[in-house]
């Protein structure tokens, strides 16, 4: 789960990381009141779940109430990379001497935590990595050892930050590492981490992704309430389905996460593009199947649907009946290909054969079914204007 900047700063502050004082406002007058309390100048900052707000005009300095009123009025409702601004964060403006970059995340291939630190912050780190890879100091940390003061110091020195700020940087980064590990984050990023003109090191931005699997250890309800979710994922979540939205046009339904992933892969393998990952879990009854079909049917880019079921405890004829009954309930836009295998697959296929039509086909193998689904998506695509 991704946090908004103001939530990330609250999260950082709990671990003792210095951030600017500020307040959150949802309308113009609320923002003006916050600014009046803080004193000028202030920064008016759009709160959305994407970066690049500065470039998009979503970050503005204001030196009096009228300024705040203008900027807040302009930024509220603004679209930033597909996200509508619904809230603002007003904070005391900082005088910036230098902008740096700092982050911790998991390096999956190394199976270690990875810290990145650069004296070139304020721009996208991918840009720095491409232009001048040596400008990023990296540190791998074994989670069982943690980040020692010595290692942290060596890392800061390797990044060539202002030497006068070394002690503060080491202290802040140690706290950031704790926020990342004890706070159960998958990513913590400060860009820019600043040195102010009066010599203080300070987090000017905050990007935090929390590990959802650790939610039970924390009180994250407030963060969850402001989550921006793919509307398809939201609908699936409400139906208790494991769904991940993708960009293609072949809707995928499978039972079991492993089979669902293989289904996504096989669609790709035969030259198609999956619209989603969807695991309906163990029970493929009419209720669950209808719910899954509704979610996929509501996705306007879907042009064909591939249902891939391996009967284990769930028997083939139950699955087939579930699909047939679900089709009575949902008015489908796209044709469906079913691959049914496992327990009582024969019985199941017979039931499907009895209902075969332009909208419902059955194929004996996963590969054949994937090919048919991809062809169907392509033909449906040709038919549209």
> Which residues are part of the catalytic machinery?
101, 189
Of positions 18, 23, 54, 283, contacts ligand GDP by CB under 6 A:
54
Nearer to Mn ion, 191 or 372 (CB): 191
Site for ligand GDP in 179-208 (CB under 6 A): 191-192, 204-205
253 near ligand GDP, judged by CB under 6 A: no
Residues in contact with Mn ion, shown as a per-residue x/- string from 12 to 51 under the rule CB under 5 A: ----------------------------------------
- Interface region with Mn ion, contact rule CB under 5 A, candidates 155-163, 174-182, 204-212, 322-330: 204-212
CA-CA-CA-CA dihedral for 43, 47, 49, 54, to nearest 10: -30
Of positions 16, 52, 312, 364, contacts ligand GDP by CB under 6 A:
52
Residues 6+ apart with CB under 8 A from 46: 53, 56, 58, 59, 75, 78, 80, 85, 88
- Interface region with Mn ion, contact rule CB under 5 A, candidates 94-102, 112-120, 189-197, 300-308: 189-197
CA-CA-CA-CA dihedral for 66, 70, 72, 74, to nearest 10: 180
> For residue 98, which of 130, 116, 123 has the smallest C-alpha distance?
123
85 near ligand GDP, judged by CB under 6 A: no
According to DSSP, residue 198 is labeled T
Helix (H, G, I), strand (E, B) or coil at 360: strand
99 near Mn ion, judged by CB under 5 A: no
371 near ligand GDP, judged by CB under 6 A: no
Strands 360-362 and 336-342: parallel
Residue number of the CB atom closest to ligand GDP: 54
Residue number of the CB atom closest to Mn ion: 205
Residues 6+ apart with CB under 8 A from 91: 19, 20, 21, 22, 23, 38, 42, 43, 45
What are the backbone dihedrals phi and psi of residue 190, each rounded to the nearest 5 degrees, phi first? -120, 110
Q: Closest separation between CB of residue 211 and ligand GDP, Å?
A: 23
Nearer to Mn ion, 187 or 261 (CB): 187
**The token pair that represents 238 in the structure block:** 């409400």
189 near Mn ion, judged by CB under 5 A: no
Strand residue runs (E) in 231-358? 242-245, 250-254, 276-279, 304-311, 336-342
Q: Closest separation between CB of residue 147 and ligand GDP, Å?
A: 24
Residue identified by tokens 């199941």 is 348
294 near Mn ion, judged by CB under 5 A: no
Q: Closest separation between CB of residue 191 and ligand GDP, Å?
A: 6
Of positions 205, 279, 294, 299, contacts Mn ion by CB under 5 A:
205
**Other C-beta atoms within 10 Å of 328: how many?**
10
What are the backbone dihedrals phi and psi of residue 272, each rounded to the nearest 5 degrees, phi first? -105, 180
Q: Closest separation between CB of residue 120 and Mn ion, Å?
A: 13
Which residues sit at the interface with Mn ion, rule CB under 5 A? Answer: 191, 205
């Amino acid at each position: 789960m991704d946090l908004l900047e103001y939530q990330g700063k609250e999260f950082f502050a709990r671990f003792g990381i210095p951030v600017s004082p500020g307040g959150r406002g949802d309308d113009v007058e609320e923002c003006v009141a916050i600014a009046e309390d803080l004193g000028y100048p202030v920064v008016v900052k759009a709160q959305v779940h994407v970066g690049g707000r500065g470039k998009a005009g979503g970050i503005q300095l204001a030196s009096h109430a009228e300024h705040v009123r203008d900027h807040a009025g302009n930024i509220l409702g603004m679209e930033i990379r597909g996200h509508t601004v619904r809230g603002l964060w007003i904070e005391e403006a900082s005088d910036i001497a230098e902008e740096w970059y700092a982050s911790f995340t998991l390096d999956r291939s190394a199976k270690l935590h990875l810290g990145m630190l650069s004296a070139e912050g304020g721009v996208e780190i991918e840009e720095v990595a491409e232009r001048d890879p040596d400008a990023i100091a990296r540190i791998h940390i074994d989670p069982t050892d943690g980040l020692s003061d010595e290692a942290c110091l060596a890392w800061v020195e390797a990044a060539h930050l202002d030497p006068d700020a070394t002690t503060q940087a080491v202290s802040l980064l140690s706290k950031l590492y704790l926020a990342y590990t004890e706070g159960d984050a998958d990513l913590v990023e400060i860009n820019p981490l600043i040195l102010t003109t009066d010599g203080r090191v300070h987090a000017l931005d905050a990007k935090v992704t929390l590990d959802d699997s650790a939610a039970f250890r924390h009180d994250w309800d407030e963060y969850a309430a402001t989550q921006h979710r793919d509307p398809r994922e939201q609908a699936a979540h409400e139906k208790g389905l494991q769904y991940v939205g993708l960009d293609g046009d072949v809707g995928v339904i499978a039972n079991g996460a492993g089979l669902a992933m293989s289904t996504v892969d096989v669609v790709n393998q035969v030259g198609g593009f999956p619209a989603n990952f969807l695991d309906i879990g163990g029970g493929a009854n009419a209720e669950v199947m209808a719910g899954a079909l509704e979610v996929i049917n509501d996705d306007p880019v879907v042009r064909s649907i591939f249902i891939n079921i391996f009967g284990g405890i769930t028997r083939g004829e139950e699955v087939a009946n579930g699909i047939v009954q679900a089709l009575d309930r949902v008015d489908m836009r796209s044709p469906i290909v079913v691959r049914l295998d496992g327990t009582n697959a024969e019985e199941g296929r017979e039931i499907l054969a009895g209902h075969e039509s332009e909208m419902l086909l059955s194929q004996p193998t996963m590969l054949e079914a994937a090919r048919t689904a991809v062809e169907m998506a392509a033909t449906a695509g040709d038919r549209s204007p």
